[in-house]
Amino acid sequence: MALSWLQRVELALFAAAFLCGAVAAAAMTRTQGSFSGRCALYGVATLNGSSLALSRPSAPSLCYFVAGASGLLALYCLLLLLFWIYSSCIEDSHRGAIGLRIALAISAIAVFLVLVSACILRFGTRSLCNSIISLNTTISCSEAQKIPWIPPGTALQFYSNLHNAEVRPKDRRPLLG
C-alpha cells in the first residue's frame, strides 16, 4: 500500500525525533562521564592555580533526567517508526480513533518532557559557561575546553558535548533560541 503524504511526514518526524533524542542522550551521558559522574549543568567552576575545577556540581539526577527524557523519546520514536512502517506497508492496517488518541496523549507527554529537559540543558549550560567566563581566564566556554581541569582528564570536550546535546544535528542551530 502506498503511504499518504501525511503518513510520510509522520514517519519522517519520528525518524528526526529519534535521531535528535539519541544524539542528546549520548552527548549528555558523555558529558557527565567526562566529569567523573558529576553533573555539570548549573555547576560552578573555580580556578585552582592555572586549572579549572568543578567546585559545585548539580545533583546527578538532573543530568539523568535530561539524558533519560531524551533517550526515552528516541526509543519511543524508534518503536513507533518501526511499528508504523510494519503496520502501513506490510500488514495494511489503519489506526482506530482510540489508538490515535492514546498515541497523541503519549506524544504530548513526551514532547512536554523533552521541552523541560531542553530548558534544563540550555539554561544549565549557560549557567556553567557564565561561571567559567566570570573567572576571567577565557572568553568562551569552547576555549575553556583547552584549559586543564582538575582532576586531570576531566571535562574533556564538555562544551562540545553539551552543545551537541542542545542543537539539531542537521543545521547545528540551538533548539531554544
Each residue's pLDDT tens digit, 69-94:
889 988 988 998 888 778 777 766 66
How far apart CA 102 and CA 96 sit, in angstroms, is: 10
Q: Is the pLDDT of residue 175 over 60?
A: no
Residue 27 lies in domain? 5-166
Share of the chain above pLDDT 90, in %: 5
Is the pLDDT reported for residue 17 higher than 70? yes
Counted domains in the chain: 1
Q: Is residue 147 part of a domain?
A: yes
Distance between CA 44 and CA 129 in Å, rounded?
A: 9
- CA distances 150 to 32, 99, 112, Å, are 15, 53, 36
How crowded is the C-beta side of 34, counted as CA atoms within 13 Å? 20
pTM value is 0.77
* 52 close to 147: Cβ distance less than 8 angstroms: yes
| Within a domain: 176 | no
CA 8, 14, 17: angle at the middle one, nearest 5?
140
48, 107, 124 from 25: Cα distances, Å: 31, 18, 15
pLDDT at 177 over 50: no
The answer as to whether 52 is a domain residue is yes
- Cite the beta strand spans of the chain per DSSP E: 39-48, 51-58, 149-150
What is the residue-averaged pLDDT of the chain? 80
- State the CB neighbour count (10 A cutoff) for residue 152: 8
Q: Sorting pLDDT into bands at 50, 70 and 90, what band is 26? A: confident
C-alpha cell at 94: 489503519
In tens, the pLDDT along 130-155 reads 988 888 888 888 888 888 888 766 66
Predicted pLDDT at 2: 62
* Any domain includes 161: yes
* pLDDT tens profile 43-57: 888 888 888 888 888
Residue 173 in domain: no
Q: How confident is the model at residue 33 (pLDDT cuts 50, 70, 90)?
A: confident
- For residue 176, what pLDDT is reported? 43
